[in-house]
A and B are shown apart, each in its own frame.
Chain A
Amino acid sequence: MADKTCELFDCGHRACGGCGAALAARLMLKAAGTNCIVVSSTGCMEVFSTPYPENAWKVPWIHSLFENASAVASGIESSLKKQGRKEKVIVIAGDGATFDIGMLCISGAFERGHDITYICYDNEAYMNTGIQRSGATPYDASTTTSPAGSQSFGNKRPKKDMPQILAAHGAPYVATASIAYPNDLIQKVEKAINTVGPTYVQLHAPCCTGWGFESDQTMAIAKLAIETGLWVNYEMVDGEVTKAKKVVRKPVEEYLKTQKRFRHLFKPKTQDAEIAAIQAIADKNAAKYGIDIKLKKE
């Protein structure tokens, strides 16, 4: 069992107040414990945690490039195997590094079956470079490269389904989790680490700077994503969905209204058709993962 009192991600790092990714790192290390080696991709987390000579990581840590964390992890795992060492190899990378630029390396590492755990902290855009859209950016989110304007409602495509892609590689364990549910997150990361073979956990990690909300609202917004069905917490074992968090769903407006990236859907006037399209995404998620709790009529 994970020691939830251990703190291996040190305070004093340079993340924004209310950073979801920093919390994800802290929780992830509670699950991992000290017997691990962490590989980071380039990105916010790498930058805010390791400005030389300062360092927030109390475990062995390596960063090489933006897109090669899973290949570096492959080499580390291979090396440990030859040396008879037992440390767990964990990648932590943002959604840009995972969904987009690192796709080749991830696919290779998962196909080869390395015993690594890949954790994606998903804040749904390139935050480190100034909030540009990635393959993880949700439909209609306004980013600096998918800005809402007179001819646009923002990002034109829904999120890429990375968990399904990695499950299709034969990954024995794939899960999604959210910083809004820390115990669930820790349990899933722990399960991923203790499963032999390549495993993947995608963590929803709201970004107050990129999404446009007050820094004390991170947890509330993460929770609303789950409660509206726009983010689903589930587990896949050997490619089959075995568990999904059920909710009494709220309308998607409740989530969208909290963030500046969706402001154009409400001002200067409410864009009913666009909101309906986003509601349809949530409805589809709910049907696919069976997350709706049916309330009994009184």
Chain B
Amino acid sequence: MLEITEGSMAVAEAVRLCRPQVVAAYPITPQTHIVEALAEMVANGKLDADYITVESEFSALSACLGASAAGSRAYSATTSQGLALMFEVCFNVAGQRLPIIMTIANRALGAPLSIWNDQQDSISLRDSGWLQFYAEDNQEATDLHYIAYRVAENPAVQLPAFVCFDGFILSHTYEPVDMLTQGDVDKYLPKFAPTERLDAADPVSFGMYATPEYYLEFRYETDKTLKDAKSVIQAAGKEFGKMFGRDYSAMVEGYQLDDAETVIVAMGSICGTVKDTIDDLRKEGKKVGLLKIRVFRPFPSEDVAKALKDAKHVAVLDKNISLGAKGAVALEVKDALYGSSVPVFDYIIGLGGRDVRKNDIREVVALAEKGKGDQFIGLRKEVL
């Protein structure tokens, strides 16, 4: 049923429909509306979960780790500094192969303090072993939660996942969203049945330490599993499409891509602005297209290379920067295209909530066509 609802409310409702048994979260802007809504659902009996009001994000994810290891479906949500505080736990959750789902309402990292959107937070955890999904709009943000649980809990995967949506830009925006029913979700998402759990009737150990004789193999297996998860993601996305009409089988999505000479690569809500700009540019006769990346981990290198092989210019929009190097998405795209002659330019854009407008996208396209890139967009030179 189509409802006009705030992004955070839509996400909270999707999470409720996934029936998490343990929710542990700590308030941080702009994630708060999600965890407040979940608390209210628990208080009113609409969500049968234990809600742990932890004293920090560090404990939020640690509590989820314990709950998941004991056999419960666990959920948390955070952003920015909160996610940074979870850094150590994030690696640990993935290493212990616990399929926790966490919503990231993407926000910049300080200093300077900023509560506004970019994607530095989740991008900075790209090496932690979590799957990373990025939503363009609130419909996608809600749908990706069902898909994320289904993929993460698949016995062939058993890895955690971030569902990322842009803080404020999506989390606090009202949009029409088609909400599934409990019956729909129950049909799509089987009950959590982990192959191993903490159980006095059948004792196992989690989190033993590994000597140099074993550590390398643990890392290899986690990496291989994450890469192999691509086929599970595609199958789960396809099945979702069959059941509910919205197909998420592709890890990347093209817009006006077939004959595009200049292709913009982007993740998250900025894709909407890019599409609108492309519509304008197409009317002016410019062959511009978009490649949207929905899944950043595992990174769909082959899909990206295939989609970009005929482009004359590739312009990557990065709402993050690996300081001292480039934006993280551009680095991946360059790696995917290594050996080809397609030029890839990186544009750092929209950091700390700086509004990205159609004119900014036009500027990017013009720069790429001139062969100029690897720069910030929209710098206010008067304050430098």
Contact = CB atoms under 8 A, between A and B. Distances in A.
Interface of A: 34-37, 39, 46-47, 50-53, 55, 57-65, 67-68, 71-83, 87, 104-105, 107-109, 111-112
B59 A74 contact: yes
A37 B67 contact: no
Contacts of B208: 50-53, 55, 63
A58 B200 CA distance: 9
Interface in B198-237: 198-200, 203-211, 214
Contacts of A67: 58
7 contacts: A63-B206, A65-B88, A74-B24, A77-B66, A78-B63, A82-B22, A105-B55
A71 B21 CA distance: 17
B375 interface: no
B56 interface: yes
Nearest to A105: B59
Given A53-B208, A78-B52, A112-B53, 15 more contacts: A50-B209, A57-B203, A62-B198, A64-B89, A65-B62, A71-B58, A72-B63, A72-B69, A74-B59, A75-B62, A75-B69, A75-B70, A79-B72, A105-B58, A108-B56
A15 to B, nearest CB: 14
Nearest to B48: A82
A68 B88 CA distance: 10
Given A35-B200, A37-B70, A87-B200, A72 B214 contact: no
A29 B70 CA distance: 20
Interface in B26-66: 48-50, 52-56, 58-59, 62-66
A273 to B, nearest CB: 42
B72 A60 contact: no
A52 B69 contact: no
B74 interface: yes
Nearest 3 Cβ contacts at the A-B interface: A75-B66, A108-B55, A75-B63
A55 to B, nearest CB: 5
Nearest to B51: A78
Contact of A81 (B50, B62, B63): B50
A79 B71 CA distance: 7
A108 B67 CA distance: 16
A60 B66 contact: no
A60 B89 contact: no
Nearest to A55: B205
Given A68-B58, A72-B63, A105-B58, A79 B88 contact: no
Contacts of B88: 65
A64 B59 contact: no
Contact of B55 (A63, A87, A107): A107
Interface in B79-96: 88-89, 92, 96
Contacts of A36: 200
A14 to B, nearest CB: 11
Interface in B128-153: none
Contacts of B210: 52
A60 B196 CA distance: 11
Contacts of B54: 71, 74, 108, 112
Nearest to A87: B200
A76 B62 contact: no
Contacts of B92: 64-65
Contacts of B58: 67-68, 71, 104-105
Which of A53, A65, A81 has the most chain B CB atoms inside 10 A of its CB? A65
B65 A75 contact: yes
Contacts of B52: 74-75, 78, 112
Contacts of A108: 54-56, 59
Contacts of A73: 66
B56 A79 contact: no
Contacts of A79: 21-22, 50, 66-68, 70-72, 74
Given A72-B66, A76-B66, A104-B55, A83 B71 contact: yes
Nearest to B49: A82
Given A39-B66, A105-B59, A105-B62, A68 B206 contact: no
A71 B49 contact: no
Nearest to A39: B66
Contacts of A77: 66
A68 B50 contact: no
A109 B210 CA distance: 29
A68 B209 contact: no
Given A60-B200, A83-B72, A108-B54, A72 B205 contact: no
Contacts of B74: 75, 79
A51 B211 CA distance: 7
B211 A52 contact: yes
B53 to A, nearest CB: 7
A105 B74 CA distance: 19
B97 to A, nearest CB: 13
Contacts of B70: 37, 75-76, 79-80, 83
B67 A76 contact: yes
B205 A75 contact: no
A46 B207 CA distance: 9
A59 B203 contact: yes
A67 B59 CA distance: 10
B192 to A, nearest CB: 11
B205 A60 contact: yes
Which of A39, A67, A73, A76 has the most chain B CB atoms inside 10 A of its CB? A76
Contacts of A107: 55
Contacts of A76: 66-67, 69-70, 198
Contacts of B72: 78-79, 82-83
A37 B89 CA distance: 20
Given A76-B198, A78-B52, A81-B50, A60 B59 contact: no
Given A72-B65, A79-B22, A80-B70, A64 B207 contact: yes
Contacts of A37: 70, 198, 200
Contacts of B209: 46-47, 50-52, 63
A77 B209 CA distance: 24
B96 A64 contact: yes
Contacts of A51: 208-209, 211
